Amino acid sequence: MNKVGFSIMSAVTASLAAVVFSIAPAAASTVNDGIYTAEQADAGKELYEQRCSACHNADFYRVALSNRNGQPLSWMFEEILVTMPADMPGSLSDPEYETIMAQILQLTGFPEGDEPLNYSNGSMENISIIPPSS
C-alpha cells in the first residue's frame, strides 16, 4: 500500500473510531452508585410529604424497587410520572418528579452522590434498579 492509501485508511479508521466513541452509551450504574444529591433529595422531601407519603411510605418503595430488580430507573420514573399523584397524574414538572425520586432513593437507603438525578438527559436509562439492602 502506498503512503497516500495508508494515510487515507488511517484517516478513515480514526474518523470511525471517533464516531463510535462519541455515540457509545454512558457507563451503566445502579441506584447504589450515588445517582442523586442530598440537596436534591432534601428539595423533594416536602413534595413527597404533601403528594406521596399518605399512600406510599418507605416500605412500599422498598418492595417496589425489589420488584423492579434489573430494570432501568427510567421505567419506574416514567410510571410515577404518568400515574402519580393519583388524584392528578402528571401534574408535577420533571424536575419536581426528579426531586421526589431522589427522596424515595434516600428514604430507601440508597447513597447520595455528587450529581443530581436527571431524566431529560437520558441517564436514567443506564441506571439499573437493585433491591434496597434494608
pLDDT confidence of residue 28: 72
Q: What is the DSSP letter of 81?
A: H
> Taking residues 5-16, what's their average pLDDT?
53
Strand partners, 127: 29
pLDDT at 80 over 50: yes
pLDDT confidence of residue 112: 97
Query: Burial code of 36-73, b = ≥16 C-beta within 10 A, e = fewer?
Result: bbeebbebbbebbeebbeeebeeeebbebbeebeeebb
pLDDT at 4 over 70: no
In angstroms and rounded to an integer, the radius of gyration of the C-alpha atoms of the chain is 20
Could you identify the residue written with the cell 426531586? 99
What grid cell was written down for 56?
406510599
Return the percentage of the chain with pLDDT > 90, whole number.
78
> Taking residues 34-42, what's their average pLDDT?
98
| pTM, entire model | 0.79
Look at residue 69 and give its three-state secondary structure. coil
Q: Please report the domains of the chain, with CATH numbers, ordered by start residue.
A: 28-128 (1.10.760)
pLDDT confidence of residue 96: 98
